[in-house]
Structure 1
Amino acid sequence: MNRALILAVVAAVGIVVAASTLFTVHQTQQVLITQFGQPIRVIRDPGLKAKIPFIQSVIAFDRRLLDYDATGEEVILGDQRRLIVDSFTRYRITDPLLFFQSVGATEAGIRARLNSIVTSSVRRVLGNEPLLSVLSNDRARIMTEIRRQVNDEARRFGIEVTDVRIRRADLPDGNTQAILQRMQSERERVARELRAEGAEQAAGIRAGADRERTVLLAEAQASSDILRGQGEQDAIRIFADAFQRDPQFFQFWRSMQAYREAFSEGDTRLLLSPDSEFFRYFRESMPAPAPRAAQ
């Protein structure tokens, strides 16, 4: 009976010692081993590990990305406008030993430090930027500069800041309407200037097109007159050559043209004497009348 009790006690002590000696490092963790409160070594590889029981302690730190939401702060911009900025930060613990020596064994210590670092960097960078830059595509450049400054200061705490973002940027309630009206007036002024420039360019393009049209029509009319004159000159020359070759045939052809133009309508009336030169070819083509028989 006593032997069984001794074995049970030994087994219980062995289990307690083994539980105090062995520990598991998860793949999302990194472990710092301390001895009497003093850091001894850092374990980053996951798996089953061992330590000196009852003397050494295990402090686990998360190796994943961690988030910190900063409170909204009122910031004065470079153009003396006020803006309420609400930001968040993503960081990772890269040096557990330095983190433990700087802020302690929990994440609560780093949050207070990050709040002051992020707030001062946001005020410093935004203090040199106008409102339009914060609300435009320059916002990415501004956030990159803020992240760089925050990361440079946070490295001494054993962390790496991977990103700093402005979640919300609002105008104070008292200045919102005035700033919106000013921005609307500015946009309307720019729109009027653009419309005036467009109207001026349109008038210039229209005047140039009208001028080119006038020049083209004048050149076309001049070319047409020149070609018409050359055609009439050639026609006169051809008629003159034909008249010189056979004047009688030319007169006959001109008379036929006159007959066609005079009688083409069908109801033309002419008052001419029978012996008019106009009917010369009609008379020549008619047969002579037969002589009357003697009674």
Structure 2
Amino acid sequence: MNLWEISWTEAAGGAAAGAIADGVLYGIDSAKVRTQTAPAAGGEAGFRILFRGMGPTILLGSVPVFGSFFMLYAPAKAVLQEHHAEGFLPLVSCVCAVPATIIGVPADVLKKRLVLGLDANAVTAIRHVVAHDGIYRGLFAGWHVNLIRDIPFAGAKIGLYEWCVFYYKKYIQKVPKEERITIVGSSICGVLSGVGCAIVTAPLDVVNTRIKADSTLSHSTSIQTVTMEIVEREGLQALFRGVAFRSFVLGVGSSIFWPIHRTVSHALQSAP
């Protein structure tokens, strides 16, 4: 199989897995967002708002984000494995996370505004942020926070996942490293890597939410300024608001994501 076939099949698997995992856990992730900052004054409450913007967010965010990441990561991984240089996989994942993260920022902005009750639908949200701040400052608000959060997150998550897979196959599945991991093993490794990364990156996730919701007193997009405001007004513990939700979302999400990604990509690669 050539690198192009590896690239597009893994990208398809990533896009499908991302859409399904994020769709299943959308409401819980929305609840996390609402715990990280105060919902809009007089805004809508209740169960339904947790699913507001689900379709546009997944189509504009999850699908292209995971698809683009694996389109770049999969062939690079294949080359590294061919040269027995798997130790560089976390670094490669960090590089591949850059374009994927930038692609997903507008969808992230829309979701946070919608589930916090700042806008009623995606069209209204786009009009509001573009009219108020322009296309770049509006739809890409907090892009630098996304990068600072997601680049080390990608490296840590991929590194932890590959590490778990290696030891799972060696000590539990007891097969050569070249053989594919089982679906159960993939789920277990996904949970461990997802929860670990969720805790480490929780403070940046809170800051990211505050910037996109424009809920700080200074309305700043500076990571340092917003972080200091949160700590001064609410205490250090506020930086870990929603960490339980985030751990659940990323843990369970990873346990769903990796088996689906493996199944879809393998099926496409095995197709005649």
What's the TM-score bracket when you normalise by the shorter of the two chains? Answer: under 0.3
TM-score, reference length from structure 2: 0.26
Name which one, 1 or 2, has greater alpha-carbon Rg: 1
Choose between structure 1 and 2 for higher RCO, CA contacts under 8 A separated by at least 6 residues: 2
